[in-house]
């Protein structure tokens, strides 16, 4: 057992999966920063503000995930080269088109939701309520964002 009473072997698996999520969020965060800085067009003001809101939220989640990895006894990756290898989404180049950016965001949330659902299963099997609650909160919030952004794009 580790310091918080969870099976060490199960927390190693959780830490690995959380590091994959961390990497995915880091690339997502960087993509959002690029969208925020470079967006152009009629929806500039609306999207510029929304992208900032999203990357600020991801910044908080990135820290929460890294701290959860530490709580489980793991080590959060911090090298961007690791993030690029592990992330389940790809970094974007220069994006100025709002529709492209919004579609990328929807796809990125769909990918993170899938990763987080997998973490729900793993954390449930490990009796890890802390990770389970964190993932449940993220999923609920992001499912609503996917719905809202999809409606925005309709």
- Domain count of the fold of the chain: 1
| 14-72 confidence digits (pLDDT tens) | 999 999 999 999 999 999 999 999 999 999 999 999 999 999 999 999 999 999 999 99
Boundaries of domain holding 109: 8-153
119-123 long-range contacts (CB < 8 A, ≥24 apart) are 119/14, 119/17, 119/18, 119/21, 122/10, 122/13, 122/14, 122/17, 123/14
CATH assignment of the domain containing 137: 1.20.1260.10
Structure tokens at 80: 């961007």
pLDDT of amino acid 119: 98
| 32-48 confidence digits (pLDDT tens) | 999 999 999 999 999 99
2 belongs to a structural domain? no
pLDDT of amino acid 45: 97
28 belongs to a structural domain? yes
62 belongs to a structural domain? yes
């Amino acid at each position: 057992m580790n310091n918080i009473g969870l099976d060490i072997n199960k927390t190693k698996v959780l830490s690995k999966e959380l590091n994959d999520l961390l990497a995915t969020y880091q690339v997502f965060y960087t993509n959002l920063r690029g969208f925020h800085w470079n967006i152009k067009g009629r929806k500039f003001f609306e999207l510029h503000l929304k992208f900032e809101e999203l990357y600020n939220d991801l910044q908080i989640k990135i820290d929460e995930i890294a701290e959860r990895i530490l709580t489980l006894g793991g080590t959060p990756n911090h090298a961007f080269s690791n993030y690029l290898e592990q992330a389940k989404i790809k970094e974007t180049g220069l994006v100025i088109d709002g529709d492209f950016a919004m579609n990328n965001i929807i796809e990125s949330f769909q990918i993170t939701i899938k990763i987080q659902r997998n973490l729900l299963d793993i954390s449930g099997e490990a009796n890890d309520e802390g990770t389970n609650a964190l993932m449940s909160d993220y999923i609920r919030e992001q499912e609503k964002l996917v719905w809202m952004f999809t409606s925005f794009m309709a």
